[in-house]
Amino acid sequence: MKESVLHFHGPVLGIETSCDETSAAVLIDGRVASNVVNSQTDLHMKWGGIVPEAAARKHIENMLPVIEEALMRANLSLAEVAAVAVTNRPGLVGALSVGLTCAKGIAWANGLPLIGIHHLEAHALSPMMGGEIGPPYVCLLASGGHTELLYVRGVGEYSVLGRTLDDAAGEAFDKAARSLGLGSPGGPAIQAAAESGNAARYSLPRGLSEPTLDFSFSGLKTAVARTAASVESDADVNDLAASFQETICSVLAERTLLACDVVGSNAVSVAGGVAANISLRSKIKSGAEKKQLMLSIPPIELCTDNAAMIAFVGSIRLARGERSELDLDCVADSPLPGEVSYEPAFE
């Protein structure tokens, strides 16, 4: 059932700098008028991972030009903006502080409401942006730092159904790609190599014994690293990449669909950077069709970190009368707003 209390207030300027994407977006009446993302992938590729200090410095360079471009694409002036929504948790504190400081300055100078947004909540609610589904629904939230199965009961009402006990799915992709010498970011690198690989060639561990809604990818990651040490050709690399992708995407999809059975949900979604993976999207779509579930997966550009989802949640919270004070701070780690305690579905 779609949530009947979704009201929007805008235009809202969204700002996102939680990791290595500098992004600004404008949302007008629930519609994405612009969404500008400046990625630092090329900068951090030479180090094989995100360097927090370098990310923060790059955000400082990119922030104002990205905001100006977002306003220009939306054909809007700053004077027409109704509020500023900004990611303030969780994430790299140095990176977050750049976006938050900028948002505070804009809000103070223009007398605008400021709304701090939880980055993971924005991902979890992003499947609602297209209007295909509304709460309640099961959401697989899978990214470089988080892998959780959530039951989204409403805005600010979330139950954790399952989570990874070690590595996040995105982290496993990154480490597998590094083991195979495919570079970073790992998700796109694995997906590209897997296109010409044989996914049935290598038998890899799936982690926890079923039935469960939790995940464990450390054994899979280790198995790929050990097997990669003996590969001898590009074909071997492609086959191992395909086998890894098939294994991790199958586990993610199967447990997401199982979660729908456990809570009796007729709607399902996937969000976060890993949701951009074509194999995962295909498996979730196929499973949802078989179970006759409503499905919403954001477009690929709204799966990775972006300010459109920040503006979206900001619009909802603004319409509900919520505001943040100018002493709003950055937080490296934070539970979802309204998150209930985690209770395993299976003992």
DSSP string, 99-160: HHHHHHHHHHHHT--EEEEEHHHHHHHGGGTTSS--SSEEEEEE-SS-EEEEEEEETTEEEE
According to CATH, the topology of domain 12-125+301-319 is Nucleotidyltransferase; domain 5 (3.30.420)
Mean pLDDT to the nearest integer, 80-95: 96
Q: Which band of pLDDT confidence, cut at 50, 70 and 90, is reported for residue 4?
A: very low
Query: What mean pLDDT value characterizes the chain?
Result: 92
Report the pLDDT value the prediction gives residue 52, as an integer from 0 to 100: 74
Backbone φ/ψ region at 125: left (φ over 0), alpha (ψ -120 to 50), beta: alpha
In this predicted structure, what is the pLDDT of residue 7? 65
* Residue pLDDT, tens place only, 150-161: 999 999 999 999
Question: Does the pLDDT value for residue 35 go beyond 50?
Answer: yes
Domain 12-125+301-319 identical in fold to domain 133-297: yes
Return the axis-axis angle of helices 186-194 and 278-291, rounded to nearest 10°.
Answer: 80
Residue 176 to residue 249: CA distance in whole angstroms? 14
What pLDDT was estimated at residue 42?
67
Query: For the domain bounded by 133-297, which CATH number is listed?
Result: 3.30.420.40
**pLDDT of 184:** 80
Give the chain's end-to-end CA distance (angstroms, integer).
30
Mean pLDDT for 164-193 is 94
d(CA 121, CA 275): 15
Using pLDDT thresholds of 50, 70 and 90, give the confidence band for residue 2: very low
Question: For 255-276, how does the pLDDT look when each residue is reduced to its tens digit (9 = 90+)?
Answer: 999 999 999 999 999 999 999 9
Report the DSSP beta bridge partners of residue 141: 148, 271
Per-residue pLDDT at 130: 84
| DSSP letters spanning 303-327 | TSS-HHHHHHHHHHHHHTT--B-TT
Domain boundaries along the sequence of the chain: 12-125+301-319, 133-297
- pLDDT of 10 > 90? The answer is no
Calculate what percentage of the chain has a pLDDT beyond 90.
82
CA 211 to CA 231: how far, in whole Å? 33
Residue 185: the pLDDT is: 85
pLDDT tens digits along 191-231 = 999 999 999 999 999 999 878 999 999 999 999 999 999 99
pLDDT at 288 over 80: yes
CA–CA separation, 176 and 185 (whole Å): 11
